[in-house]
Amino acid sequence: MATAHNQAEKGQIAKVVLMPGDPLRAKFIAENYLENAEQFNDVRNMFGYTGTYQGKRISVMGSGMGMPSIGIYSHELFNKYDVDVILRIGSCGAYSERLKLYDVMVVKDCWSESTYAHTYSGYESDIVKPNAELVELIKQTAKEINQDLVEGRVHCTDCFYRMDKQACYRIQKEHDCDAVEMESLALFHNANVANKKAATILTVSDHILSNEKTTALERQTSFTKMIELALQCALKC
């Protein structure tokens, strides 16, 4: 059952997958939160692990950066490995004063200039939504564990670097985006086409208004509030 991107055999991956962008964050979660974790993938160093959390079998796997990368991995997880739920746990850059560094955000929808969804299946809209039931589960779980949570729209972009330095300000104003990241649209669209469930929880890693930034190591190891929220949600999926 192995693919060109994933050496796992069918049955090695759980029905619920937590998906950070950074494969080293996947490794961190497996080593610090999962019991009896076994690695199922290291192709291209895109690490994937399956273990148990409070008795429930859960997998965690990196997605890489950008929509093409998460598009490949989520398509295969949904369609070749029978995964039912993917929870993206990533980082974002804040556009809005509603957010501050290290805030945790649940994505209500994403706006994008990307052609990913159109290329994948002919989808025409520039807005893609996550699974509504999963978003509500995240919000309810955050309340239960007293976790502060901001709900908002993200700008899902194909370009980390952009020559037009004012574009983010226009996008924030014209499309009411609270933050920017690079993966959610492809994940949500793949899930919607496959009739599966996906949602995104993000931690603010930098802020365009304040110019605050986290380090690469902090992004890898310190986003524990987001990770723990996602794990509690996974228990209920």
Domain spans of the chain?
A: 16-236
- Asked if residue 58 lies in contact with residue 51, where contact means CB atoms within 8 angstroms, the answer is yes
163-173 tens-digit pLDDT: 998 898 899 99
Third-level CATH fold of 16-236: Rossmann fold (3.40.50)
pLDDT above 80: residue 37: yes
> In the prediction, which pLDDT does 6 show?
97
pLDDT above 90: residue 56: yes
Reported confidence tier of residue 220, pLDDT bands at 50, 70, 90: low
Rounded average pLDDT over 2-25: 96
The conformation of residue 206, written as its DSSP 8-state character, comes to E
- Token pair in block for residue 195: 């009739």
| CA atoms within a 13 Å half-sphere pointing along the CA-CB vector of 138 | 32
Among candidate residues 109, 126, 158, 206, the one labeled active-site is 206
- Residue with token string 């779980």: 141
**Does the annotation mark 206 as catalytic?**
yes
